[in-house]
Amino acid sequence: MVYTMGNTLLYVEDLSVAYGDKVVIKDINFVEKDVSRKDTTGQVIAVVGRSGRGKSTIFRALTGLVKPTTGKILIADTLSEDENSAKEVEEGDVGFVDQKYTLFRNKTVSEALMFALRNKEITTKEKKEKIEEYLTKWGLLKMKDQYPCELSGGQRQRTAIIEQIFCSGHYMVLDEPFSGLDVGNIEDVKNAFNLISTNHSFNTIIYSTHDIELAVELADSIYVIGYPTIDGNLMSYGTIVKHVDMKERGLAWREFGLSHIEVVKEIKAKMMET
């Protein structure tokens, strides 16, 4: 499929995070650009790797929840008039949905969404209309007065995603959005990805998963996190050990086929090494 690369949306350079003496991730470098094709679409980036390799730490750094020990993370400053201007990521710039789809336990769905919109300069009526519109589109209208403990896992996840869409900019990080979901809910998440990425060209979804098939099926860029081998020694910190650009390979935005299976095998082999 024909596509063009635009401005840099995400720039990560020499990122490392350490807690005391324990280095969790190190030497993380990557760049993601605005990808345009016939239909306006956002970017879908998957991060895969075995447990304990630092995926969650990368996500905490990308969302500004943990300060990098070294390096920097820049995102496109979409509010600036200068097309190429970038800013260091801060808390709240990048939406974050964790594995447990955490929500405010004391707020109903509509209260939570109203809270997410609290800083937007629109009237209360407009906020209510926006909430109603999203709840309808995401199949949550009936649940608007329910508390998180009264929602199913899928409903909680969708509420958490809308909350982050309302509050953050164009970036959304989802930590293992497919874990523990049934077939129907997985389809719902796929639809959610579609809704987000077709909404704006800058919209960028970064998600982690242990399901390599799903990573290959949905993402247009895949990063494998693992322990690197330096001078024959396996290190104990996580870094990017492989990057698969599905666009370059001509596999992005296509039905899952035999070529995708080859990529799955390739990624799994790399994961086992690291």
Contact present, 69 and 16 (Cβ < 8 Å): yes
Could you tell me how many residues of this chain bind another protein (CB under 8 A)? Answer: 27
List the Cα angle 139/142/148 in 5-degree steps.
90
Q: How far is the CB of 128 from another protein (least distance, A)?
A: 18
By CB under 8 A, residue 87 contacts another protein = no
DSSP 150-218: GS-HHHHHHHHHHHHHHHS-SEEEESSTTTT--HHHHHHHHHHHHHHHHH-TT-EEEEE-S-HHHHHHH
8 Å CB contact between 88 and 74: yes
- Of the candidate spans 9-17, 142-150, 246-254, 256-264, the one that interacts with another protein by CB under 8 A turns out to be 142-150
Q: Among 7-15, 28-36, 104-112, 242-250, which window interacts with another protein (CB under 8 A)?
A: 104-112
Q: Which is nearer to another protein, 38 or 105 (CB)?
A: 105
The least distance separating another protein from the CB of residue 67, rounded to whole angstroms, comes to 12
The residue from 14, 83, 91, 187 that contacts another protein (CB under 8 A) is: 91
Q: Which is nearer to another protein, 116 or 212 (CB)?
A: 116
Residues of this chain that bind another protein (CB under 8 A):
60, 63, 65, 91-92, 94-96, 98, 100, 102-106, 115-116, 119, 147-150, 160, 163-164, 167-168
